[in-house]
């Protein structure tokens, strides 16, 4: 590595390296992991001329500070926040050229939860099972960043189009999650199924990369006993014995023994990753898309 590196000056509450994760190993108990707000991660990569699958940094609420050892282009997206270079205000949601040795500060999220920081060349830590993502459930990939961590960078590509600013959806004031019912909706009482779609839920502060937890009315089961462990998908809404739904995000376990009342559409999960604790949540049931041919 020819000195292309990034020094973490302030790691923040929780900053991790994320790319598109490591799907395909669930049968070995390996979570998929990867950036929670995938469109934001892809966008900041495009802004600095990286391929969309390059590894970026995912911050949590209070940003981070970085000092590149070489000239780089940086873009910050996802949760809106202040960006400064050597103390001077710089653009959010746009490419910013940073000289070697300058301090890049990603501020506290003004709205939303997770900011994404792409650096030209991408973060090039050693991949594990084809991915550089930090998996907080199973401990695969690089550990969460610490002050002083040095991250190697790849060679920069050529930005195919320089843009001044890119539009991004704001974090949701109300989180509406479309849910396809099942596979275990029959484990709940008719009253619970009604409550699920009419109840006033709010995002819980206990949410993390494994799952979006909510507070609100508990969902009662129509049958006692345990469900034998079964495979879990991204977006599964699992209901543990306390009756409060948990929406599985990227670091979710590959199998689980609590019934899944429904599955949130993949397109609604990036907004779930940006919903701050206290955000109202509404679950809306939708029908399974017929005859889909998604890759």
Residues that bind another protein (CB under 8 A): 23-30, 128-129, 138-140, 180, 182-183, 228-233, 235-236, 253-255, 260, 263-266, 288-295
Q: How far is the CB of 186 from another protein (least distance, A)?
A: 10
Nearest alpha-carbon partner for 77 in 120, 122, 34, 109: 109
Q: How far is the CB of 291 from another protein (least distance, A)?
A: 5
200 versus 267: smaller Cβ distance to another protein: 267
Task: Give Cα separations from 233 to 21, 98, 99, 163, 208 (angstroms).
Answer: 14, 40, 43, 36, 17
Within a 10 A sphere around the Cβ of 95, how many other Cβ atoms?
Answer: 23
75 versus 269: smaller Cβ distance to another protein: 269
SS (H, E, C) 203-225: ECCCCCCCEEEEECCCCCECCCC
Q: How far is the CB of 157 from another protein (least distance, A)?
A: 27
Q: How far is the CB of 251 from another protein (least distance, A)?
A: 12
E-assigned strands of 19-114?
56-58, 64-68, 72-78, 81-85, 88-90, 96-98, 104-109
> How many helices, marked H, and strands, marked E, lie in the chain?
3, 20
Within a 10 A sphere around the Cβ of 158, how many other Cβ atoms?
Answer: 6
Which helix (H) or strand (E) is 281 found in, with range?
strand 280-285
52 versus 227: smaller Cβ distance to another protein: 227
55 versus 263: smaller Cβ distance to another protein: 263
65 versus 232: smaller Cβ distance to another protein: 232
Q: How far is the CB of 142 from another protein (least distance, A)?
A: 12
SS (H, E, C) 143-180: CCCCCCCEEEECCCCCCCCCCCCCCCCCCCCCEEEEEE
25 versus 282: smaller Cβ distance to another protein: 25
Q: How far is the CB of 217 from another protein (least distance, A)?
A: 23
Q: How far apart are CA 130 and CA 22, in angstroms?
A: 6
80: which DSSP letter? -
Q: How far is the CB of 204 from another protein (least distance, A)?
A: 22
Q: How far apart are CA 26 and CA 9, in angstroms?
A: 35
152 versus 159: smaller Cβ distance to another protein: 152
């Amino acid at each position: 590595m020819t000195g292309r590196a990034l020094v973490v000056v302030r790691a923040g509450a929780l900053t991790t390296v994320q790319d598109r994760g490591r799907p395909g190993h669930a049968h070995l108990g390996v979570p998929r992991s990867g950036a929670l707000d995938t469109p934001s991660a892809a966008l900041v990569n495009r802004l600095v001329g990286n391929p969309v699958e390059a590894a970026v940094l995912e911050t949590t609420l209070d940003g981070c500070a970085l000092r590149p050892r070489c000239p780089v282009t940086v873009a910050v997206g996802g949760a809106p926040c202040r960006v400064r270079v050597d103390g001077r205000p710089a653009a959010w949601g746009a490419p910013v050229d940073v000289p070697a040795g300058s301090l890049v500060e990603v501020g506290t999220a003004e709205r939303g939860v997770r900011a994404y920081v792409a650096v030209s060349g991408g973060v090039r830590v050693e991949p594990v099972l084809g991915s550089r993502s930090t998996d907080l459930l199973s401990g695969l990939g690089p550990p969460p960043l610490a002050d002083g961590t040095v991250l190697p960078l790849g060679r920069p590509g050529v930005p195919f189009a320089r843009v001044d600013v890119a539009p991004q959806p704001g974090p949701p004031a109300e989180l509406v999650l479309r849910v396809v019912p099942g596979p275990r909706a029959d484990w709940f009482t008719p009253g619970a199924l009604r409550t699920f779609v009419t109840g006033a839920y709010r995002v819980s502060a206990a949410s993390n990369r494994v799952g979006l937890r909510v507070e609100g009315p508990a969902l009662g089961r129509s049958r006692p006993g345990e469900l034998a462990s079964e495979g879990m998908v991204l977006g599964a809404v699992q209901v543990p014995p306390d009756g409060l739904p948990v929406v599985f995000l990227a670091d979710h376990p590959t199998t689980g023994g609590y019934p899944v009342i429904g599955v949130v559409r993949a397109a609604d999960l990036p907004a779930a990753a940006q919903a701050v604790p206290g955000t109202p949540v509404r679950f809306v049931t939708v029908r399974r898309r017929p005859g889909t041919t998604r890759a």
